[in-house]
Structure 1
Amino acid sequence: MNESVHFPIIATIHSPFKEKFGIPRQPNLVDVPCYIKLLAPYNDKSAFEGIEAFSHLWLLWVFHDNKKQQSFKPQVRPPRLGGNQKIGVFATRSMYRPANIGLSVVKLVSVEQHNNGIRLCVQGSDLLDGTPILDIKPYISYSDAIIDAKSGYAVEAPLLKQVFWHTEALNQRTALLQQHHTSEQELKYLEQVLALDPKPAYQQDIERVYGLRFSNLEVKFKVKLQDVFIVNLQYVGLG
């Protein structure tokens, strides 16, 4: 039996998540828009005829930015369990697994003509910018949504924290809006991401300053109990 198989990459995703830190840990926790750019020869619009009749899609993709593991590790520490408790890797959605494949449900917004090909606009993605897409399948509500399914240690969606702006960051926000380096809508998406508390679950230092890249913005923030405080916001340009 073959020990490995190979799949073509049919698309890449363009998202505001420029680094792994800060990406929602599950899909559909934020409604940030992303674009799936189809690669030739898969950017043929006829290949997607009928897809707009579906509200959601399954994306099969690759954890392409993982550090290479030297050997198989049967247990990991899920953030949902505080980051210190170990559990079997196949009982989690950890990115570190034998086949570095991810699976996400996203909302289909539109199919657009773009640069002599097509792209899909979706919402709810939890994918790093540039992530390779292996396949796209329609979400079938009567079979894919199991009403009485059990979710182990992840029974409920994570509690959202309140997001506040310190005075300096608020002034920076105003300046960036005036300079057209960002928009109110983009800042609302940023607040959605921060409300999920992206810091490691085991870190509880309320004075520690964390930083993440979102779209063309670099944000610094603190987490104190049920509140997130944005302390600094900078425009870092395209890329």
Structure 2
Amino acid sequence: MEIEPIAHFKSPLTSKFGIPRQSGIVSGLRGQIVFEPRFRNAEALRGMEGFDYLWLIWGFSCNVDAAKHPTVRPPRLGGNEHMGVFATRSSFRPNNLGLSSVTVIHIDYNSADGPVIHVGGADLMDGTPIYDIKPYVEFTDSHPNVRSGFADEVGWQSLSVCLSESIVNEFTPDERNTLKQILSQDPRPHYHRDSRRIYGMPFAGRDIKFTVENGTVKAFI
């Protein structure tokens, strides 16, 4: 079977660095689903306004090397333990396919590229190909009080975030809040713990730099 993108994702995050490790953990992160010309048909979205969430099936387009080994090292475990690739949500998979749940903010039927779906909480990079969209249905897709493997055993420690005056002056309040949510999730590679190291990531058209020391991110431009 051959599959082709039905849409591509627009995001303020234009590189893999800084992308949330899971959908939904940075709820303020906004993005748009822009359909390919042959799929820009409002009839294909009829009824979508009745759903709060969508499932996106998409591709890890920047992973040039698919998983070639049966195990991976999840960041949540510090990168020190191996788990089976199919027991993780690692981005390095045999077929490079991702699955994310996103919030529907609104649908713009009047856009020049319309219809465009505006969503929140996505963990997709700018330009990511989307292969399918399905509605999220609570009575079948939500399973409360279930086991979640090693994710239950190892909590993720969020970081405090301090933004420089230049960031405060140049970004809108919504952009600042989103940036703080992203940085609080510690986007560094799991094996980097050097407080003197300066990291960089693009966000909303600007290059953000930051350091991490004693549980605090200091971000500047």
Tell me the TM-score normalized by structure 1. Answer: 0.86
Partner in structure 2 of residue 9 of structure 1: 5
Which residue number in structure 1 is paired with residue 40 of structure 2?
43
Of the structure 1 ranges 120-129 and 40-49, higher mean CA displacement relative to structure 2 is found in 40-49
Contact 2:35 2:113 in 1 (8 A): no
Q: Using the TM superposition, give the Cα deviation of residue 22 of structure 1 relative to its aligned residue in structure 2, in angstroms.
A: 0.7
CA distance 1:216–1:74, change in 2 (3 Å) = same
- Is the aligned partner of 1:76 residue 2:72? yes
> Which aligned runs of 4 or more in structure 1 are off by greater than 3 angstroms?
none
State the partner residue of 1:189. 178
Amino acid at match of 1:173: I
| Rounded Cα–Cα distance in structure 2 between residues aligned with 1:224 and 1:190 | 18
> 1:159 aligns to what?
157
What one-letter code is carried by the residue in structure 1 that aligns with 2:42? K
Which has the greater radius of gyration?
1
Please give the alpha-carbon distance, in whole angstroms, between the structure 2 residues aligned to 1:120 and 1:63.
Answer: 20
How far apart in 1 are the matches of 2:146 and 2:83? Answer: 20
TM-superposed deviation, 1:116: 5.4
Q: Percent identity?
A: 39
* 2:216 paired with 1:227: yes
State the shift of 1:72 in Å. 2.0
Q: How well do the aligned residues superpose, as a CA RMSD in angstroms?
A: 1.6
1:17 counterpart SS class: coil
**Structure 2: which 5+ runs fail to align?**
none
Alpha-carbon shift at residue 41 of structure 1 (Å): 2.4
Report which stretch shifted further, 20-29 or 87-96. Answer: 87-96
- The C-alpha deviation readout for 1:79-119, integer Å capped at 9, x for no partner, is 00001221111111111111110000000011102115310
Q: In structure 1, how many angstroms separate the alpha carbons of the residues matched to 2:155 and 2:48?
A: 28
Bigger CA drift: 8-17 or 220-229?
A: 220-229
CA distance in 2, matches of 1:195, 1:36: 25
TM-score by length of 2: 0.93
Deviation per CA, 1:120-169: give whole Å up to 9, x if none.
0000000010001000000010110111221111127633211113xxx3
